[in-house]
Amino acid sequence: MARYHLRPIFLSATLMAVILMTCPIMAQNHWMCPGGEKSISLEIFKPRFASAKGYELPNTVWILSERMLTTDNNASIVIDLPIVQMDIDNDMHPSDEDQILIGNPYFGLEWPLPLDDASKSLCVGVGWRIPLASDEKWDATSMGLVTMPNRFEAFIPDLMTLSLRLGFLQTLESGLNYTVNIAAAWMIQTEVGGDSELFADYNAYIWLPAKKVKLGCGLAGRIWVTQEHGSIGERTTHQLGFAGNYDFGIFTPGLHLRIPLDSDLTEELDYVYGFSLAYNML
Predicted confidence at residue 258, as pLDDT, reads 94
| 81 or 145, greater pLDDT | 81
- Per-residue pLDDT band at 20 (split at 50, 70, 90): very low
| Residue 160 CB coordination number (10 Å) | 18
Rounded average pLDDT over 182-189? 96
Predicted confidence at residue 52, as pLDDT, reads 57
pLDDT above 70 as % of the chain: 80
- Per-residue pLDDT band at 26 (split at 50, 70, 90): very low
Q: Where are the domains of the chain?
A: 7-280
Query: Looking at domain 7-280, what is its CATH homologous superfamily?
Result: monomeric porin ompg (2.40.160.40)
pLDDT at 37 over 80: no
pLDDT at 139 over 90: no
Predicted confidence at residue 92, as pLDDT, reads 44
Q: What is the mean pLDDT of the chain?
A: 82
| Residue 172 CB coordination number (10 Å) | 9
- Per-residue pLDDT band at 57 (split at 50, 70, 90): low
Report the DSSP beta bridge partners of residue 231: none
Whether the Cβ atoms of residue 52 and residue 19 lie closer than 8 Å to each other = no
| 137 or 96, greater pLDDT | 137
Whether the Cβ atoms of residue 107 and residue 130 lie closer than 8 Å to each other = yes
CA atoms of 11 and 237, how far apart (whole Å): 10
Report the DSSP beta bridge partners of residue 184: 164, 200
Q: pLDDT by residue (tens digit) across 77-131?
A: 999 999 999 876 554 455 556 789 999 999 999 998 888 888 899 999 999 999 9
Predicted confidence at residue 88, as pLDDT, reads 62
pLDDT at 32 over 90: no
Q: pLDDT by residue (tens digit) across 256-281?
A: 999 999 887 787 788 999 999 999 88
CA atoms of 226 and 191, how far apart (whole Å): 20
Predicted confidence at residue 224, as pLDDT, reads 94
CA atoms of 124 and 134, how far apart (whole Å): 31
Predicted confidence at residue 8, as pLDDT, reads 52
Predicted confidence at residue 149, as pLDDT, reads 86
First to last CA, the chain: 46
Predicted confidence at residue 58, as pLDDT, reads 66
CA atoms of 27 and 48, how far apart (whole Å): 13
- Per-residue pLDDT band at 15 (split at 50, 70, 90): very low
Predicted confidence at residue 210, as pLDDT, reads 77
Predicted confidence at residue 33, as pLDDT, reads 43
